[in-house]
Amino acid sequence: MRRVSTLAAASTSLSRAILASSEHHHEYNKLFQAASFYAANTGSSRRWFSSSVGSTSPGGYSSTAAKVFLSLGCVAASVAAGASSLFVEEEAYAKEPISPDLVPKEVVLYQYESCPFCNKVKAFLDYYDVPYKVVEVNPLSKKEIKWSDYKKVPILMVDGQPLQDSSAIIDQMRTKLSPVKSTSVVNDDEEEKKWRRWVDDHLVHMLSPNIYRNTSEALESFNYITSNGNFSYTEKYTVKYAGAAAMYFVSKKLKKKYNITDERTALYEACETWVDALDGRDFLGGLKPNLADLAVFGVLRPIRYLTSGKDMVEHTRIGEWYARMENVVGESSRVKA
């Protein structure tokens, strides 16, 4: 009985902490707390779970519920084409030029390794080769961000200035770096904005029902979360099993909330929608990724090598674009703290 209580307490603490990584976490806390309690007390809490979840918003579940943490070289020239073709490929996928004097002197990212919003920011920093240090936040104690009134991640400290909210961080960093834009790129800003909104309003909602769709995938996801997160040995155990159980039940509610009949089909359709938006282009930005490309890539990167991500690449056309993104984003620009 004591062990069950411990799991329930740990899972509830986990809900309050890790789910703060969602930009709109306040509405979500009740939902995950309800799932956590349900997972540890299945027989007696069914009525309490339903009433608690139903009270998160006038319409039922939180409108931002799917923004849960995840908590979670295909560009090669043909040999027959010779060295000139190889040069063309490298030229086409060259990164945006950044003036060295515009690169901040010190950049520190406070993050959860598996958080899709943190990974959006990292995709941007990696693409623009901005050196950054990482501080992995313990989602239970949050002691690493005690200094901040803002209790969610990501937080990006840029030369002593804290930036918050993944999309706002990226916008502000682009302004700071001021990469030279061609006229055609400027004219495509509306398309870029449209698909960045699509990432936050639609694509992220597909993730949780997929990575927690059954018990084995839920455990796989939490194994990744606990292996890459900042947890003590005891926390790893309780987080992995209590969290996986809780999110398995939450994923079923998310399916109902977003009218998802089959979670894999919904993920595949989202991927195909993105590939259709490319309209034959290598990237939405043309020969170079724009912020929408980086947002989609960043959000999908934490799941790419989970079962759901492998299925995604196998059963949709997104694999070639994703491989091009891996190639052009390149190695992480992260430096040791």
Active site residues: 112, 115, 117-118
Phi-psi bin for 61: left (phi > 0), alpha (psi -120 to 50), beta? beta
Which residues face 164 on adjacent strands? Answer: 155
Q: Which two structure tokens, joined as six digits, stand for 204?
A: 């992220």
Contact present, 82 and 221 (Cβ < 8 Å): no
Contact present, 123 and 99 (Cβ < 8 Å): no
Contact present, 111 and 137 (Cβ < 8 Å): yes
By C-alpha distance, which of 220, 211, 239 is closest to 300?
A: 211
For residue 133, CA distances in Å to 106, 126, 183 come to 8, 12, 34
Q: Distance (Å, rounded) from C-alpha 31 to C-alpha 130?
A: 37
279: CB partners within 8 A, 6+ apart: none
